[in-house]
Structures are given as C-alpha cells and as structure tokens.
Amino acid sequence: MMLQIGDNVEVIDELISGVVTKITPQEVSIRMENGIIITFPKKKVVKVDKNTPIEYHKFTNSSLKEEKKTKKNVSTGKRAKKKRTPVLEIDLHIEKLVANTHGMTNFDILNRQIEVAQFQLELAMERKFSQIIFIHGVGEGILRAELEVLFSRYKGITYQDANYALYGAGATEVFLDSFY
C-alpha cells in the first residue's frame, strides 16, 4: 500500500488518526484533528477509508503481525514453513470503541459492541483469518452470551474460551478454519 500526502491514516496500537502531511523513506508525519503534527515509523501507519467509522479500523500491532517466513535453506534442503495467517485480536471494552459513553444506555453500549464484533468477524472472514480473539471482559456475562448468539448465526464457526493464562476468563477465541 502506497501512502500519499492527504491520505487518511491511523496508527497501529494508538488512538491516533489524521491526515498525512509528509512522507520520508522511514517515517510518516500525521496532522491530527487538533492540528498537532506527529511523526511515526511507516510500518505503524495504515491508510483508512474516511467514510468508515474509525472504531472499525482498530487492530492491534500484535494482531496483525505475521510470523516470519522461513526461507528455503539451499544447503540443508529444508523447506519453507507455510505462512500462517495472523490472529486478529478485538477488544470490545466500550472505552476502546468510542471516545465518550456520555448519554449511552447499557443497551446502546451492548449494541455498539455487537455491531463492532459482527463487522470484525465478517472482515476476518473476508480476509481469510483463521482465528479471532474477542476480548469481552468478565462482567455479568451479557456481552459474552450475545457474542455466542452472533457466532451461532454463521455455519462453520467454532469458538471456545481463549487462553486463560493470557486473557483470564474475559475472552473468547473464534476459529474460522471450518468456515472455508
């Protein structure tokens, strides 16, 4: 993807978005909405469609990081490992999805979380991800139950509690392998 001056962009792992003002071989300068210009490494900046709400573009750096490909070693004759698709990690805590919850009811919050989850699930299917981790927190279990209802609408999707050591009891791992 080639960035150009004037492109709308976001920064991976940051709540920063804006318009590209300068591009060097290694860095991109971004003018944020408040007028401040900040520079980031090119690999941390992604171009976004300004017509799509910002919260739908949020990916974490770790969720998009692909494992290194092992190149074929001619001297030992080892074959290259198959490229694995990255695991998408979506944090559904409302403070990660909207800037301000003022005026939102619990119903509004739950609907926003499910809307984002559905969008990200369909995007992952389209981009042929094999797994997604939805971080929903523990709470009263309402969001978790609604996510299970959402997942049940899609054939070929399986899910389970995510790795407890990494996420505690507040995440669900969804497998899309059987979807394809």
In this predicted model, what pLDDT tens digit does every residue of 64-117 receive, in sequence order? 433 333 333 444 445 444 445 567 788 999 888 888 888 989 999 999 999 999
**Would you give the DSSP letter of residue 140?**
T
Nearest 5°: phi and psi at 131?
Answer: -145, 150
Q: pTM of the predicted model, to two decimals?
A: 0.54
Stretch 14-19: mean pLDDT: 78
Structure tokens belonging to residue 32? 């944020």
Please report the pLDDT score of residue 133 as a whole number: 92
Instruction: Please state, as a whole number, how many other Cβ atoms lie within 10 Å of the Cβ of residue 112.
Output: 17
User: What is the widest separation between alpha-carbon atoms in the chain?
Assistant: 65
**Would you give the DSSP letter of residue 7?**
-
Is the pLDDT at 54 greater than 70? The verdict is: no
